[in-house]
Amino acid sequence: MSLFEPRTPVYSGEGDELKKVEKLLHDHQIDYKLKAGSTGTLVMVKRSRADEAEMEIREAKARNWLW
């Protein structure tokens, strides 16, 4: 078992949208870290949870919850 699991970006943005994504991931108990990027703040999640995180963000976007 590896102690270090690589993280992958699942969202890039700023402001209220970023806060909503953080809350969404927190509510679904998905561990994330923030990293400054050239297109805004990157939300990085463990690679094993990336698909789940992307799906939750897509569903929220489809319901117009994020935008």
Query: In this structure, what CATH number is given to the domain that contains residue 15?
Result: 3.30.70.1530
pLDDT the model gives residue 67: 63
CA 30/CA 2 separation, integer angstroms? 19
Whether residue 43 lies inside any domain: the answer is: yes
3 alpha-carbon distance from chain centroid: 21
Whether residue 58 lies inside any domain: the answer is: yes
Average pLDDT along the chain, 67 residues, taken 10 residues at a time: 82 92 95 90 95 95 81
Residue ranges making up the domain that contains 35: 7-62
The count of C-alpha atoms lying within 13 angstroms of the C-alpha of 24, restricted to the half-sphere facing its C-beta, is 22
Q: Tell me how many domains the chain contains.
A: 1
pLDDT the model gives residue 25: 95
Residue 19, number of CB atoms within 10 A of its CB: 11
Whether residue 2 lies inside any domain: the answer is: no
- Residue 30 corresponds to which tokens in the numbers above? 């998905």
